[in-house]
Amino acid sequence: MGLNLPFIILLCVALLLGGCESPQNAAKVEYSSPGPVPAEPQRPGDPEKGYRALLNEPYLGCGMPYSAYQRIGGTGAPRIPDRVGRNAELPYFLTAHRTLKGVEVVSVNCLACHGGLFDGKLIIGLGNENLDFTEDRSITAESAGAYVDTEAEAAEWRRWANRVRATAPYEITDTVGANPAINATLALIAHRDPNTMAWSPQPLMEPPPKQVAPVSVPPWWRLAKKNALYYNAEGRGDLARAMMLGAIYCAEDVATLREIDAYAPDIRAYFASITPPRWPFGINRELAEQGRAVFEATCSGCHGTYGERQSYPNLVIGAAEVGTDPALAQNAADGSTDRFILWFNRSFFGEIARAAPAPGYIAPPLDGIWVTAPYLHNGSVPNLAVLLDSAKRPQYWTRSYGSAAADYDSDTLGWRYTELPYGKAGAKDPKERKKIYDTRLPGYSNAGHTYGDRLSETERKAILEYLKTL
């Protein structure tokens, strides 16, 4: 909640007299409890404006000079026809703009992680589960410096490369497809002054551990129903403000963040307007209707109901109760990340948003669930069939990391996979090793969510058929 001007003046006077702390220093760590997440007021936004801003605005304001990008070479990734200017020529996950010094740069945008492919077609808002964060990205960023010509380009390249170099050690995952977004953001926070957003070459606080707790990227369309952001419902208050935290990658001052914040509610409104893709194959309607009855009796208490009687409880389930890998929830609620929570709540972001993690995971809405494999918050389960039958979940597995329809199993609702008799330690080829999902690694467990185990095989098949309709 913002402070009115007279109150701020009184606080300033008190500061001069030594009588109290500033509002930033008065911020404190707040934890949430498992249970329902209440709705909070949100700033209104225009979805159409948000769509245009998402595709064209430079909310990540630094990047590789365009001249270097041209020499290195682009990719054959899809383009989006609704983009303008140079952006119309670039892959969907890159955005071009001119910096204040007049240098044209190319930076990644939100679609790098939130633009997924199915049957070779881009689905905006779908998590990209094929990204490879197993290598040190700073090597590529540093090598790009060989392709810059002018002093101005060199300065912009160095500003971007310094950010990459600072965060790269904290975003190296064990497995292709695992996303390190949370750890990378904490690494950025460690280099930013919470009051001014000034960048420090050296960390201003202890950075996060280099061991990444992986996440599977959730689809944007869930935002239409959710009252909080992230798997542990940590993002509270104004969600548009909370979701733009990634802008600190390049924003050097609060004024720049306020410019981005002016259209952030439009982007949030666009996210909430996205319609999940329809199931592209046939559906046994009779079986699906049987599945609806089983689902509503077994699953709807956490995941809500669909169709004409839609409801969603926004319910956080304690980590011990759901039994899934606890690392992500524990890391945010055991005190070890208090310094980052304090930073957020003392900063520009904490004016109208707040970080308040819960020691558990929010049961997500299941709209479009069929296209969001792999499952659980860490992507440890390859399809919905084995999610509903924990005894069949593979301990070690790999997949093709393709996006063609042939890579998808329409019977099990997930990507086709190959079960292996060994984990990463047993792989001789480094290329094979990084594509093995090893559920024995910290943060990668496929345990928990065993609610489907009590169902019969017939009931599980019926639920799978029903989930195709969501």
Give residue-wise pLDDT tens across range 446-467: 999 999 999 999 999 999 999 9
pTM: 0.91
Q: Are residues 193 and 216 in the same domain?
A: yes
Q: Are residues 142 and 51 in the same domain?
A: yes
pLDDT at residue 27 in the model: 65
Q: What are phi and psi of 388, to 5 degrees?
A: -85, -5
Residue 196 lies in a domain: yes
Instruction: Kindly state the average pLDDT of the residues 195-210.
Output: 96
Residue 291 lies in a domain: no
pLDDT above 90 for 11? no
Can you point out the beta strands (E) in 125-242? 235-237
pLDDT at residue 23 in the model: 39
Place of tokens 């936004």: 45
pLDDT class for 26, splitting at 50, 70, 90?
low
pLDDT at residue 361 in the model: 97
Q: Are residues 32 and 11 in the same domain?
A: no
pLDDT at residue 75 in the model: 74
Q: Are residues 156 and 260 in the same domain?
A: yes
The pLDDT tens digits of the residues spanning 101-153 come to 899 999 999 999 999 999 989 999 999 999 999 999 999 999 999 999 999 99
Residue 215 β-bridge partners: 179
Which of the pair, 3 or 331, is modelled with greater confidence? 331
The pLDDT tens digits of the residues spanning 165-175 come to 999 999 999 99
The total of structural domains in the chain comes to 2
User: What is the share, in percent, of the chain residues with pLDDT greater than 70?
Assistant: 94
Q: Are residues 15 and 125 in the same domain?
A: no
pLDDT at residue 2 in the model: 35
Residue 336 lies in a domain: no
Are 363 and 317 a contacting pair, CB within 8 Å?
A: yes
Residue 421 lies in a domain: no
Q: Are residues 18 and 109 in the same domain?
A: no
Identify the helix (H) or strand (E) that includes residue 419: strand 417-419
Q: Are residues 68 and 167 in the same domain?
A: yes
Lowest-confidence region among 9-23, 66-80, 270-284, 416-430: 9-23
The sign of the CA dihedral 278, 282, 286, 292 is negative
Lowest-confidence region among 149-153, 258-262, 329-333, 408-412: 329-333
Q: Are residues 56 and 32 in the same domain?
A: yes
Q: Tell which of 273, 293, 325 closes a domain.
A: 273
Residue 400 lies in a domain: no
Which of the pair, 336 or 372, is modelled with greater confidence? 372
Q: Are residues 3 and 107 in the same domain?
A: no
54/243 Cα distance (integer angstroms)? 13
Residue 307 lies in a domain: no
Q: Are residues 56 and 187 in the same domain?
A: yes
Containing domain of residue 264, as a range? 27-273
Q: Are residues 22 and 62 in the same domain?
A: no
116/109 Cα distance (integer angstroms)? 13
User: What is the share, in percent, of the chain residues with pLDDT greater than 90?
Assistant: 86
Q: Tell which of 273, 304, 321 closes a domain.
A: 273
Average pLDDT, the chain: 91
Q: Tell which of 273, 291, 324 closes a domain.
A: 273
Q: Are residues 145 and 22 in the same domain?
A: no
Residue 119 lies in a domain: yes
303/292 Cα distance (integer angstroms)? 13
Instruction: Kindly state the average pLDDT of the residues 175-188.
Output: 95
**Amino acid in position 40:** E
